[in-house]
Every structure is written in structure tokens, then in C-alpha cells.
Amino acid sequence: MLTRRRHSQTRDDSLSATYGNRFFTKDLKTFRMGEDSLPPASVYQIIHDELELDGNPSLNLASFVTTWMEPEAEQLIRENLRKNLVDQSEYPRTGEIQHRVIHMLADLFHAPDDADIAGTSTIGSSEAILLGLLAHKKSWQNRRKTAGKPADRPNLVLGGEVHVVWDKFARYFDVELRTVPLSPARFTLDVQEAVRRIDENTIAVGAVVGTTFTGQIDPVEELNEAVEKKNREQGWRVPIHVDGASGGLILPFLEPERRWDFRLSAVRSINVSGHKFGLVYPGVGWLLFRDRKDLPDDLVFRVNYLGAEEETYTLNFSSNAAFVIAQYYNLLRLGKKGYRSIMENCRDNARFLAKELAAGKTFEPVEKKPLLPIVAFRLRGKHAGREPEIASELRKYGWIVPAYTLPPDAENITLLRVVVRENVSRQMLVELLAHLDRCAGILENPATKRKTHPPLC
């Protein structure tokens, strides 16, 4: 049968092969919204292909963020992406799950049995830190006003090893930072120097378990003793906020006897990142207060325009429920035994990497036997300071490893860092070590840079 084309027939791009339709040769606007609609398959492919230019998350050893979850967890995430966590009257079981996670974490962090636990989920640890410190500032202001004393010069004592969000808090909320600098020989908080900076206007002292720079742990128990001694002597109530973004969900399983949490009397609040070693995709974090009285009531908002009376203490109002549910999945699915097994594997692999680096002549790890699965290291000898070149060369193999300088007064030290997450296998680290050796060889002899040759046929 002979079929003739009708004169009115025009090309239908929706039926074209994706790479064969006109949208792949059309100059699409990327900073202005176009006038016309486009076929969904074409738009998907355009965006998908552009994102292929991103780094491979599995080879991104710079990131602390989870890059793998079980299929069942991913299914729960997909099923709940449409739920807004704040709508607890509409999604009451989701709200109940959030409360369960808060109580599970409080138990994990040894909150007193008779404590009236308070906490909230957040987008991540940055929001949790802001909220925790804001509560301590407000508590301090309330105490000062009750005593008839001025409350206009708050300060915050911390070490130079803290995350940038602590600086953001000070700037956003008009708080003086009293920073204890690092030194070339010490990359964690100096307790005695911290205590010297405390006065009647100190809203809190910060401590970190698992610093971003080196993965080391501040001496929280020693800090607690020194702060409580100062409190007893002066009649103050200076609290400690512990940033457990990196280590808070590792230490309970690998170092259960280490006292850094609510077992210490001055520790009044703790934040952790669910999307780091809580093993959940981003973003979810958690803030816990030792007791409800540590969260001033005038910071808690009560609203009923979602259908029922609800309390909220967050910077964001709306947030996705899916990742809170995913955190609950992990806590139920893995239990303490499962988390312990995963964290042991991560730490064992990290110690393997640190041991191999220490055994060589090129690199020097900050810790030969790291407590957490974070390996910070630097070049030895004459090549010290050229770590950014190593990081650049590693990118040619697909690895993403950051090179950065330490904060004052250790700013002359440059480090590289590998975060050994759940999906980073021993074999991957063997390959990384081989590529590190090749990259280091280039520093010694630039002529050894990788060359490509056409394949022999």
C-alpha cells in the first residue's frame, strides 16, 4: 500500500529518537526561562548528560556524605518524597517516627533516665548547630535579665578546628567569638586556653568529636571537668555544645567507654549528621538537648494553621520527611551490632590506609592509628606544601581528594584528607595508594606525567 504524506503534516519531535530531535542542536536558554515547552525525555537527557560531567560520588573521598543505601531504604525514600515533615497532623505516623529517632539517639548518647528529652530533626548539622547555640544564647540572656544584669555582650568559646557554621552563628546572631588557635603540634582544642577565655558572658563552649580538618577528637571529658570547676567557682552555668557531625554516630559503637556525651554534666546539647555516618542520603541532621529546660520556651513556636496545634523549633519550616524515615530504617535495620560492624570495617580500612602511608617515604599521616575512619596526611620533606598538586593529579584518575590549609596558628600546614565511608573498599584504597605513588613521582620528575598512546591494532 502506498502512503502519501499529507501537506499539513509536520515533523513531530516527540516521536523522534532522543538524540535525533531538534532540541539537541537548539541553543537552549539556561539563565532565562524559555517560551516553549520541551519534550520530557529530551529535557531529562539534556540534564542527565550535563550531570555526567560531575565527579563520581563513589570516588569523592573529600565528602563525609553517604553515597550508598540499601534498595529497601531507597524505596522508602521514593515512597515518601511527597511528604512534608512539618505536616504532622496530616502525617501523624511520620511525626511519631521522628520522635522515636530522637529518643533512640538520646538513649545512644546516654541521656539521664529521668530527663525530659528535647530534640528535632534538621536539614543537617549546620542547622542543628545554629539552633543549639541559639538556645544557649537565649538561656544566657534570660538568666542575665532575671539577675538584673546586662545581656548585650555574649561570647562563644571554641577551638580553631570547628566547622565554618560556628563562625556563621557568631556573625548572624551578633556573638563575639573567642577562638583558641591551633598550633603546628596540636590540631584539637587546648582545654586550659579555652577555660581562660570563659567569663560571665560566655553562652557556651564548643567541642568537636571528629574535626573536619583531621578527624581528631577534642578532649571533651577534660573540658567538662575544667568548665564545671569554673562554674562551681564562679556560680555560672556555662554549657558545652558537642558537634558530633562526623563522630557522634561512630563513637557509641567503636569507643563505647569514651565519655563525650550526656554522661558529662556540662554537655547540654549535641548535634549529629544523619547523612554522614548515620548512613542516610543528604540531607538530615539531629539536635538533642539533655533536658527540655535547655531549650527556652520562647524559642518554640506553636502553630495551628496546618490543621492541629504543633510545636516547631527549626530554621526551615518545610522539610522532606523521606530522609527522617530513612534514618529510622537504618536504626531498625542495622541495630547496634550492624552499625558497629560497618564502623569497624570503615575504621579498619582507614587504619590500613594510614599504615601504608606511614610505611612509605612520601606521605605522613596525622595519626598512624586514627580513631575515626578519616585519614588526614601530608607530604614529607622538600615537597611539603605541594599537596594541591597531588589533589589535581588525582583528579585525572577520577579521585576527589581535597587539599587545604589548617586554621591559625597552623596555617602553614597543608593536608590531604580521605574519608573512608561505607562504600570505600580495601581494594579501592589499594588503587588509591598506587595512584598516590604515581602522582608523587610527578613531583620528583615532571617528565613522568602520564602519557596516552594510541592502541595497537
State residue 159's pLDDT score.
98
* pLDDT tens digits, one per residue of 46-92: 899 999 999 999 999 999 999 999 999 999 999 999 998 888 878 88
74-330 maps to CATH 3.40.640.10: yes
Q: In what order do the strands lie in the sheet with 374-379?
A: 363-365, 374-379, 414-419, 403-405
State residue 20's pLDDT score.
67
State residue 317's pLDDT score.
82
State residue 457's pLDDT score.
46
- Do residues 232 and 260 touch, judged by C-beta distance below 8 A? no
Contacts of 28 (CB under 8 A, 6+ apart): 34, 38, 46
Q: Do the domains at 74-330 and 336-444 have one common CATH topology?
A: no
Q: Please tell me the distance from the alpha carbon of residue 156 to that of residue 344, in angstroms, as a whole number.
A: 35
- Do residues 269 and 288 touch, judged by C-beta distance below 8 A? yes
Instruction: Return the domain boundaries, the chain.
Output: 74-330, 336-444
DSSP string of 242-261, one letter each residue: EEETTTTTTHHHH-TT---S
| Class of the domain covering 336-444 | alpha beta
Q: What cell numbers appear for 152 in the block?
A: 548585650
Q: What SS3 state is found at 240? A: strand
Q: Please tell me the distance from the alpha carbon of residue 238 to that of residue 228, in angstroms, as a whole number.
A: 8
Strand ranges in 70-142 using DSSP code E only, listed in sequence order:
118-122
State residue 16's pLDDT score.
52
Q: What SS3 state is found at 310? A: strand
Rounded to two decimals, the pTM is 0.91
Q: What angle do CA 315, 166, 229 make, to 5 degrees?
A: 115
Q: Please tell me the distance from the alpha carbon of residue 124 to that of residue 299, in angstroms, as a whole number.
A: 19
Residues in the chain with pLDDT values less than 50: 1, 10, 12, 14-15, 452-454, 457
Measured from the Cβ of residue 196, the count of other Cβ atoms closer than 10 Å reads: 14
Residue type, 306: L
* Dihedral class, residue 316 (left if φ above 0, else alpha if ψ from -120 to 50, else beta): beta
State residue 303's pLDDT score.
77
